[in-house]
Amino acid sequence: MLGGARSGKSRHAQAIAEACAGERVFVATAQAFDGEMAERIALHQRDRDASWRTIEEPVDLPGVIAAVAGGGRVLLVDCLTLWLSNLLLAEADLDAASDALVDAIQRAEANIVFVSNEVGFGIVPDNALARRFRDAAGRLNQRVAAACDVVELVVAGLPLRIKG
């Protein structure tokens, strides 16, 4: 589930996940550093009912998936872009983390719905860190899209199927 900011991708991803049978696990990668982010997290939480178990994991997403993605479950991971941002802040090895994520996806028996931002359609950012982030986000989206069966781009709340 790829989309721009405020494209409705989280809501659409949740609807898809809720259409799957199985115990619902929400994997939140967001960290509430400031009031703005805390508000966004709270807004998203209000959209989910008590049928969802929430796991907060900003960094070890592959480990969480490996631990909980057993059969009979559906996972909603929101979102890969914040996970990547957390990895960059932690100065983690991005290639190793991507490898581990793809490996966890391939071993998972649960249905997993990933939410990610498409961030590469603007002009080249002024600063090198933003360019590095944008490049890494593009590469990560490519790798995860290749590992998933279905990929959709959400525009104005409307899904556009690009794979599957």
Instruction: State how far the Cα of 12 lies from the Cα of 7, in Å rounded to an integer.
Output: 9
Q: At closest approach, how far in Å is the CB of 71 from a copy of itself?
A: 27
Nearer to a copy of itself, 50 or 124 (CB): 124
Say if residue 42 carries a ligand binding annotation: no
Tell me, what DSSP letter sits at residue 125? P
Q: What part of residues 23-62 is at the interface with a copy of itself (CB under 8 A)?
A: 36
Instruction: State how far the Cα of 40 lies from the Cα of 42, in Å rounded to an integer.
Output: 5
**Exactly one of 44, 81, 152, 159 is catalytic; which is it?**
44
For 134, the 3-state DSSP assignment is helix
Q: Is residue 44 annotated as a catalytic residue, yes or no?
A: yes
Q: At closest approach, how far in Å is the CB of 3 from a copy of itself?
A: 8
Instruction: State how far the Cα of 152 lies from the Cα of 10, in Å rounded to an integer.
Output: 12
Q: Residues 6 or more apart from 128 whose CB is under 8 A from it?
A: none
Annotated binding residues = 3-10, 28-30, 56, 78
User: Which residues of this chain interact with a copy of itself, rule CB under 8 A?
Assistant: 2-8, 36, 118-125, 128, 130-131, 133-139, 141-142, 144-146, 151, 153, 155-158, 160, 162-163
Which positions are catalytic?
Answer: 44
